[in-house]
Amino acid sequence: MSKPNKKTAARRRPTMIDLFAGAGGLSEGLQESGFKSLYANEIQARYAETFAINHPDTFVDQRDIREVDARKVREKLGLKKGELDLLAGGPPCQGFSINAPVRSEKDERNHLFKEFLRFVDEFYPSAVLIENVPGLVSFEGGSTLDAILTALRKHGYTADVRILYAPHYGVPQTRWRTIIIGLRDSSNIQEAFPTPICYAPLRINFTSKFAGRNIVSLPQSAELPSFTSVKDAIDDLPELTNGEMGRDLKPYRVAPQNEFQRIMRAGSEGVLNHQAARLSKINLERLVHIPPGGNWTDIPFELLPKGMQRARRSDHTKRYGRVDPEGLASTILTKCDPHWGAYFHYNQNRAFTVREAARIQTFPDTFWFAGSRVEQYEQVGNAVPPLLAAAIGRSISKILGHEATELMRAI
């Protein structure tokens, strides 16, 4: 397969498909970096619904990927083998290791990564992008990750891996992702990974070495601008009281106060998915004792849950936390539960709303989440932060010879 002429490639918008797509965080960021989303596969109905609402020009397929004929999808999209620019996704990888504890035809995790490879073979894209958790690096002593990289190389790709820290790319939360990239026609694989654009405090509490080298991408300069804080991210959103619902579309509290807010609000007429879950009376009593940046250790002993009354003061340091407005948020999980981390608002006596969680994940305000509030939190927490995805998309687009757009820029 001949390498595309870079001048020709730059004149068209690069194409992508997204497998195991979730609600669309990865696709959202990749589109912001210039890619055109053609197809997404997501088996969970509510996630697929959200994806389709926000990406109306994408063919969203809710079938089990094992039942999907990749060749028919390619033909439906009008693509020849080798014409697709990027195949992306977050396939389950843990069953793929040769040392996995269960290796059989019944190991669905193994099959799902093989389904991803089946699409790689059918589309033979210029680039492949796989995202996963940092724990993938140490799983089964690294043999799973080694098997994935080996598989991509056997399928015709130069492949490598990095662990990226989301705050280095403008995301206001402590979130790490393992990123695997494969390139079909380039040996410059190192250039396919984005360079950090922000400084941010960090703590590495996972295996950061693979094949004898450190794979965590760190800033190369001490002169980078500082990270985006929680206050930078959400301070323009409407104030709410505990349990306040209100209308679906709410007006902003103030005009945009910084570049991050301006970008998040682009094209938005108001604030969606912004209702406050009702905290119990006891949690409200606990909350009034917690200062910004504080946690469960600030709560009077008699108000603590029974289990936490037996905890050491050094344990659970993020539980019942009120986020520091000038710092980074805890990793946004599938619900903003005070038992899980610092999910209390810094100056309002309530937990983060879905929209605040989405802002911290860097979803634009025009992105609407379908379903119940519980389902919305799950979709947000399971997503790839679009700003991180956009940074990866720009670096891949550049190495493929395309002109990346700058919709979600320098924050």
The enclosing domain of 147 has a CATH number of 3.40.50.150
Work out the pLDDT band at 110, boundaries 50, 70, 90.
low
* Percent of the chain whose predicted confidence (pLDDT) is above 70: 91
**Considering the domain boundaries, does residue 125 fall inside one?**
yes
Number of domains within the chain: 1
Q: For residues 255 and 323, what is the distance between their CA atoms, to the nearest angstrom? A: 23
**Considering the domain boundaries, does residue 375 fall inside one?**
no
**Considering the domain boundaries, does residue 187 fall inside one?**
yes
Mark whether 336 is an active-site residue: no
Cα-based angle 206, 207, 212 (whole degrees, multiple of 5): 160
6-59: per-residue pLDDT in tens? 444 445 899 999 999 999 999 999 999 999 999 999 999 999 999 999 999 999
Q: Which amino acid is at 50?
A: T
The predicted pLDDT at position 9 comes to 45
List the domain range (segments joined by +) for residue 22.
Answer: 6-222+385-399
245-299: per-residue pLDDT in tens? 988 899 999 999 999 999 999 999 999 999 999 999 999 999 999 999 999 999 9
Within 8 A by CB and 6+ apart from 260, the residues are 170, 172, 228, 232, 233, 411
Judged on CB neighbours under 10 Å (0-12, 13-18, 19+), 185 is middle
Work out the pLDDT band at 383, boundaries 50, 70, 90.
very high
Q: Which amino acid is at 203?
A: R
Question: pTM for the whole thing?
Answer: 0.92
User: Which has the closest alpha carbon to 126: 185, 196, 172?
Assistant: 185
Which residue is it, tokens 């195991």? Answer: 20
The predicted pLDDT at position 108 comes to 59
Work out the pLDDT band at 132, boundaries 50, 70, 90.
very high
| Mean confidence (pLDDT) of the chain | 91
Q: How many CA atoms lie within 13 A of 392 on its CB side?
A: 33
**Considering the domain boundaries, does residue 178 fall inside one?**
yes
Residue 32 corresponds to which tokens in the numbers above? 């912001």
The predicted pLDDT at position 247 comes to 82
146-182: per-residue pLDDT in tens? 999 999 999 999 999 999 999 999 999 999 999 999 9
Q: Which of 19, 86, 93, 164 is catalytic?
A: 93
User: Which has the closest alpha carbon to 24: 57, 64, 51, 49?
Assistant: 51
**Inter-residue contact 245 to 218 (CB < 8 Å):** no
- List Cα–Cα distances, 245 to 69, 240, 249, 270, in angstroms: 44, 8, 11, 15
**Considering the domain boundaries, does residue 372 fall inside one?**
no
Residue 239 corresponds to which tokens in the numbers above? 């104030």
Work out the pLDDT band at 101, boundaries 50, 70, 90.
low
**Considering the domain boundaries, does residue 274 fall inside one?**
no
- The residue count for the chain: 411
Q: For residues 307 and 301, what is the distance between their CA atoms, to the nearest angstrom? A: 11
Q: For residues 317 and 311, what is the distance between their CA atoms, to the nearest angstrom? A: 11
The predicted pLDDT at position 237 comes to 98
Q: Which residue has better confidence, 2 or 127?
A: 127
Within 8 A by CB and 6+ apart from 163, the residues are 134, 137, 176, 177, 178, 179, 206, 208, 215, 216, 217
Cβ–Cβ contacts within 10 Å for residue 43, how many? 15
**Considering the domain boundaries, does residue 354 fall inside one?**
no
Judged on CB neighbours under 10 Å (0-12, 13-18, 19+), 22 is buried
Q: For residues 300 and 302, what is the distance between their CA atoms, to the nearest angstrom? A: 6
48-82: per-residue pLDDT in tens? 999 999 999 999 999 999 999 999 999 999 999 99
**Considering the domain boundaries, does residue 364 fall inside one?**
no
Q: For residues 339 and 358, what is the distance between their CA atoms, to the nearest angstrom? A: 20
Give the pLDDT mean for 342-363.
97
